[in-house]
Amino acid sequence: MARKIKRPDTPPADDLTVLQPNRVLPLGDRTVTVRELRFFESLRLHSQIAALVADLVEQTDDGNIDLGRLHRVCAQHPDATVELLAQVSDQPVELVHSLNAAQGDLLLLTFWAINADFFLQRVIAALELRRTAPAATGPASSPP
């Protein structure tokens, strides 16, 4: 029997964060705004997003993604990760490549803070499909 996957508990967001989730970061000699992934961007970057989501699904069975899991998945897909970070910060990929470890972590964690819901919705949907697939197909029937 399929069981419903409950979304991980998250603290309630304040209204300002929901309405304006953008965050401004100092990265080296620049100030960068990190924002939500837009719909068209998500379509254009579908293969990069799908690769990350597929590996996030493999890292959890309940939809909880801690920072260790996130880092493992991003390390498995460095090009996709860099492209997504460049996209949501409206910066060239070369800038993301040039960041030192602390700046890269700050950008990644800020990206995740703003875009986690986008990814977690897809992870939870995939987990639910995985759990219901055997129940939906059922045992093979034989003719009477």
Question: Confidence band (pLDDT; 50, 70, 90) for 21?
Answer: confident
CB atoms within 10 A of CB 114: 18
pLDDT for 32 beyond 80: yes
Question: Distance between CA 61 and CA 128 in Å, rounded?
Answer: 10
Q: Closest by alpha carbon to 28, among 111, 95, 114?
A: 95
Q: Give tens-digit pLDDT for 52-79.
A: 999 999 988 888 889 999 999 999 999 9
CB atoms within 10 A of CB 49: 22
Question: Confidence band (pLDDT; 50, 70, 90) for 16?
Answer: very low
Predicted local confidence at residue 71, as pLDDT: 95
pLDDT for 25 beyond 80: yes
Q: Give tens-digit pLDDT for 92-103.
A: 999 999 999 999
82 and 111 Cβ atoms separated by less than 8 Å:
no
Predicted local confidence at residue 13, as pLDDT: 53
pLDDT for 1 beyond 50: no
Quick one: DSSP state of residue 58? H
